Chains A and B, each alone.
Chain A
Amino acid sequence: MQTYLQFAVLGLGLGAIYIGLGTGLLLVHRATGIINFAQGAMAMWGAYVFAQLRLDGTLMLPIGSIDLGRRPTVAVAALIGLVTAVLLGLVAHYLVFRPVRNAPVLAQVVVSVALMITIQALVVLRFGPNNIKVDSILPEGSWSLAGIELSSREILMTLIMAALSAVVWAYMRFTRAGVATRAASENERAAVLMGFSPDRLAAVAQVIASVLGTVAVTLGSALTGLNPENYTLLVVPALAVLLVARMESIGIVVVAAIVLGAFQSIIGLLVTKPWWPVWAQSGFDQIIPFAVVMVILFVLGRRLPSRGSLQTVRLPDVVIPRLRLVPAVVLAVVGVAALALTSGSYRFGITTSIIVMLLALSYVVLTGYLGQISLAQGAFAGAAGFTLSKVTSNLGVPFPLSVILCGLVASALGMLVALPAFRIRGAQLAIVTIAAALAIERFVFNNYSLTPPEGNPIAAATLFGINLSVREGRDLSRLSFSLMVLVIAALLVWMFIRLASGDTGRAFLAVRANERAAASSGINVRMTKLIGFGISAFIAGIAGCLIGLSRGQLSAESFTVFAGLQVLAVAYLGGITSVGGAMVAGVLGPLGIVYVLLRGVFDLGAYYPLISGLGLILTAILNPVGVAGATREQVAWVRRRLSRGGTAEPPPVADATPKPKEPSHV
């Protein structure tokens, strides 16, 4: 019993961080309606600044740095860290979130994910990828309660964070700006009509949230050290806490954060017990936030408050694709030629680009056509790859069958994740899927009893006696493997175009446009979503198998949450609504041909994640149709111009006209 209590208290350290992040998430959501997936990443930056100052007296800026000569005191360093947090909050508001305030939820989710990727990439570049030690502001020590020694630092941290949350609560309750924030979160139009500027209220909220998170992470990192991944992803349990509090109650955020932190710590103790099953030892604590998210969303479902804004900007348009012989042949010839004329890392880069194109295509199906958000595509791919390793090495299932089987496994997983989508959508669906992705990553891919550290071997494919393995002897990128990838990709693109141009694609687009109207037109909305998730996960699953085959084994690094999010980034960047966009995404994608060129020719490989993150922020704000969409518009403009002999209008830009707002009466 004593040990349990001690572990519960140790878990308070985690709980205190959840309080900070959860309260910040709540405040930002109430002020802007946006779920800020970058909350953890933003909080991490100020903590890094603090840590670096204490380490060697360098004030690290996003670009460049200032050497203060000697190490500042803890108080000065902490103050500088907090000032950084204030500035970051303002930058995030004015440069990132304000431009998408009236954008579709998808763009808002994407922009916050992009900010998360960007900050994380910047941290790796500026502070390095490894864990660094952080000075403790709070004294170490222990208090004794009824003879049990309890760590005092975690308790103090929790008290500090709870007190700061109470200050935020008082701001919301007793100040005019705070009351106005609550008012605007309920009815923004009415608040505007009373003379309040929602923008200014949102800026204040972003700053408070950023400071609160930074304090929490600065305190917490003294316990765990800082690395670019751990605090970025702590946003997921903080989101679970936010949902428990129904996005409304700061008091419940505090309580839920403490309970979750303590509970996860106790789980950490339980998994070491002899009776605990070995296969469930690692990553089990990450199942809990996911389970909480699922239960809350199922129980509360639609009753969670959503925050509307004044007007909506629509999602990018879809041009229904047609199968055309000439472009198809040209593309195939270009693909074969590109693969045949290159070798080594360049051929491998092109092959990877083709696989990433498939992952991006899975986003086109789900997000571009069906309008659903999923941050778990990487996990679907990984699940298929994982299964491939099992069915090929343990069961000996032969090649084409094994890949199809694994695609179907991913498809089933996708449909399982679709179940919450029956009741929720938008940002909440993003929360479910990122929690699912994290749970799968930690519990399956990083679980040594399921995935040994040396990786799961995947048997090379052979078909009719042809060796399709990726490497042989000193050839690390065999042509026959690359051609197989190309053929499979071509088959999937063909399949996509058949569906997209048929009744299925139309039903998807109808659901994306308007679920009520779709239901009243006789479309089974739930079934349609299930089909969409199934097809999308199938494509992602095949891509996952190809990744596995291209590596010869399944390694967890290929399928981290971040890898998945980076694919989302390039998919959106390329254009989330078309095959062309997916192709652009493939070219630009992680480890794809552009990456290989960046690394090989310009030696800029390290900057790749930062560039893709920044590119995504800019795309989401300025050009929601993506590279492919913008190109298509330019081409259409040129065509019109040619046909009309120079009297054409300028190309249409993404239009921001408000939809007619009809007063709805009961």
Chain B
Amino acid sequence: MSDPAGRGLETRSLTVRYGGLVANSEVSISVRPGQVVGLIGPNGAGKTTFVDAVTGFTRCEGEILLDGVRIDALAPHLRRGSGLSRTWQSGELFGNLSVAENLLAAARKSGWATVVRDLFGRRRAGAGRDVVDSALAVVGLEDVADTLARDLTLGQQKLVGVARALAGGCEVLLLDEPAAGLDSMESQAFAARVRSIAEGNGSGQGPGILLIDHDMSLVLGVCDVVNVLEFGKLIFSGTPAEARTDPTVVAAYLGAPVEASHA
């Protein structure tokens, strides 16, 4: 686990409590640049909670480091600003904006300075369009740039979510169930895209990716490292090959064989 450079994302003993319930208990994982790391586990295991905690949408204990710097005190938009990007299980696009506008909303700055620039600055036609085009090219959706986000199919919405998370650049990308609801063809195509994003689309090293999904063939096929959560605890961390044969993983997913006495 120890990378001397300490680049990418690292959590140390991350714990999330909801009242008396411990949703994440001492979860320590790391995602290095260019690496695809899987996070799997049965429903209710605390996967989304983990992403919410890392990105600042849920209060947590423990440490979160990005490129060796603590970010656990930062507001969510500042974590995004420092290079930690995420997608949402249900897409959560800005449905009333076009795909291009969705991406620009993430890529362009806003604030009082922007107000002044909007009012008095010079407008270039198609400003920021290159960012949009390159992010959409990564997910292969260049032709929907001017479609309203909510008019896309679910599969497209998820991909645009990924593109929006990539727009403007990031160090580490957290993908929360990006393939749920995709059919098996779409799912396979998506796996190839995840891989190529991590590889920087042929330009050397891309961002580190944490992939959360239920589609086992996707996760096991594409990840370098797989982490398994059950009841909020990390019960396994290793390669996909090890995960496939590990009895605790299989039990967590399909349920342990029922003893005759219980049935």
Binding site for B on A (CB under 8 A): 314-315, 317-318, 320, 495, 498-499, 502-507, 509-510, 512-514, 516-525, 527-528, 531, 535, 660, 662, 664-666
Contacts and interface: CB of A to CB of B under 8 A. Distances in A.
Contacts of A518: 77, 94, 105
Kindly name the residue among B18, B81, B89, B94 whose own CB sees the greatest number of chain A CB atoms within 10 A: B94
Kindly name the residue among B76, B104, B164 whose own CB sees the greatest number of chain A CB atoms within 10 A: B76
Contacts of B77: 518-525
3 closest Cβ pairs, A-B complex: A502-B118, A507-B110, A521-B106
8 contacts: A318-B96, A504-B114, A504-B115, A516-B57, A517-B88, A518-B94, A523-B106, A660-B90
Contacts of A504: 110, 114-115, 118
B106 A522 contact: yes
A665 B42 CA distance: 10
B68 interface: no
Contact of A512 (B96, B109, B114): B96
Contacts, number: 128
Interface stretch (B2-10, B26-34, B44-52, B243-251): B44-52
A510 B94 contact: yes
Kindly name the residue among A503, A510, A660 whose own CB sees the greatest number of chain B CB atoms within 10 A: A503
Kindly name the residue among B44, B104, B118 whose own CB sees the greatest number of chain A CB atoms within 10 A: B118
B104 A509 contact: no
B118 A522 contact: no
Given A517-B88, A535-B115, A314 B76 contact: no
B118 A517 contact: no
Interface of B: 18, 21, 23, 43-44, 46, 48-49, 55-57, 75-77, 80-81, 85-86, 88-90, 92-97, 101-102, 104-106, 108-112, 114-115, 117-119, 123, 154, 164-165, 168
B43 to A, nearest CB: 5
B259 to A, nearest CB: 28
A527 B111 contact: yes
Given A315-B96, A504-B115, A524-B111, A666 B46 contact: yes
Nearest to A519: B76
Contact of B118 (A318, A498, A513, A519): A498
A516 B81 contact: no
A509 B97 contact: yes
Given A518-B105, A522-B77, A499 B115 contact: yes
A662 B80 contact: no
A96 B43 CA distance: 41
A167 B255 CA distance: 52
Nearest to B112: A531
A538 to B, nearest CB: 11
A463 B94 CA distance: 46
Given A498-B118, A504-B115, A666-B46, A517 B93 contact: yes
A314 B46 contact: no
Given A522-B168, A525-B77, A666-B46, A516 B92 contact: yes
Contacts of A495: 119
Contacts of B80: 519-522
A517 B76 CA distance: 10
Contact of A314 (B95, B112, B114, B118): B95
Given A520-B88, A660-B154, A503 B94 contact: no
Given A520-B80, A660-B154, A514 B92 contact: yes
A427 B160 CA distance: 32
Contacts of A502: 114, 117-118, 123
Contacts of A499: 115, 118-119
Given A498-B119, A502-B118, A665 B44 contact: yes
Nearest to B109: A503
A524 B74 CA distance: 12
Contacts of A522: 77, 80-81, 106, 168
Contact of A662 (B89, B101, B114, B168): B89
A510 B105 contact: yes
Contacts of B86: 520
Given A521-B105, A531-B115, A513 B96 contact: yes
Contacts of B23: 666
Contacts of A519: 56-57, 75-77, 80
A13 to B, nearest CB: 43
A666 B51 CA distance: 11
A480 to B, nearest CB: 27
A649 B76 CA distance: 43
B115 A506 contact: no
B94 A514 contact: yes
Contacts of A521: 77, 80, 105-106, 164-165
B110 A524 contact: yes
Kindly name the residue among B57, B80, B164 whose own CB sees the greatest number of chain A CB atoms within 10 A: B80
Contact of A531 (B88, B111, B119): B111
A561 to B, nearest CB: 30
B119 A503 contact: no
A535 to B, nearest CB: 7
Contacts of B115: 499, 504, 531, 535
A495 B118 CA distance: 9
Nearest to A513: B94
Given A503-B110, A664-B48, 8 more contacts: A314-B96, A499-B118, A502-B117, A503-B117, A506-B108, A506-B110, A523-B77, A666-B21
A528 B105 CA distance: 12
Given A499-B119, A521-B105, A506 B89 contact: no
A29 to B, nearest CB: 25
A404 to B, nearest CB: 14
A318 B43 CA distance: 38
B20 to A, nearest CB: 13
Contacts of B88: 516-517, 520
B169 to A, nearest CB: 11
B104 A506 contact: yes
Nearest to B167: A521
Contacts of A527: 110-112
A520 B162 CA distance: 12
A476 to B, nearest CB: 36
A318 B56 CA distance: 30
Contacts of A505: 118
Contacts of B111: 524, 527, 531
Contact of A509 (B75, B92, B96, B109): B96
A666 B17 CA distance: 11
Contacts of B109: 503
B84 to A, nearest CB: 9
Contacts of A513: 93-97
A664 B105 contact: no
A106 to B, nearest CB: 14
A527 B108 CA distance: 15
A662 B90 contact: yes
A656 to B, nearest CB: 13
A601 B101 CA distance: 48
Contacts of A507: 105, 108, 110, 114
A592 to B, nearest CB: 28
Kindly name the residue among B81, B97, B110, B111 whose own CB sees the greatest number of chain A CB atoms within 10 A: B110
A502 B108 CA distance: 10
Contacts of A320: 101
Contact of B105 (A314, A318, A523): A523
Kindly name the residue among B94, B105, B119, B165 whose own CB sees the greatest number of chain A CB atoms within 10 A: B105
A512 B102 CA distance: 13
Kindly name the residue among A315, A520, A523, A535 whose own CB sees the greatest number of chain B CB atoms within 10 A: A520
A524 B106 CA distance: 11
Contacts of A531: 111-112, 115
B63 to A, nearest CB: 21
B90 A506 contact: no
Contacts of B168: 522
Contacts of A666: 18, 21, 23, 44, 46, 48-49
A550 to B, nearest CB: 27
